[in-house]
Amino acid sequence: MRTTLDLPEHLLDEAMKSANISTKTQVIITALEELIRKSKISGLKKFKGKVDLDIDMDAVRGRKCRF
C-alpha cells in the first residue's frame, strides 16, 4: 500500500542507524511490528499472577527430576 508521510528526517536516519536497516520502508515496517509486539506483551502482563497453571515443566520438556 502506498502512503505519503511527512516524517522528521533526523528520526528516520537515527532509526535506520540504530536498527542497522538500509531502507526507510523497512525501518517503518520494523517500527510498526515492534509497536504491535509491545502492545501484545503489555496486554499479556495484565494476567501476571492471575492464571494458575498446574504444569510440570520437567514432564513437558521430557526431563526427569533429579531430586
More confident residue, 43 or 48: 43
Neighbours of 24 (CB within 10 A): 15
pLDDT > 90: percent of the chain = 58
Please give the pLDDT value at position 35: 97
Integer angstrom CA distances of residue 49 from 24, 34, 37, 60, 64: 40, 25, 21, 21, 27
Please give the pLDDT value at position 53: 75
Q: How far apart are CA 19 and CA 27, in angstroms?
A: 8
pLDDT tens by residue, 16-47? 999 999 999 999 999 999 999 999 999 888 88
More confident residue, 62 or 67: 62
Nearest in space to 28 (alpha carbons), one of 45, 5, 50: 5
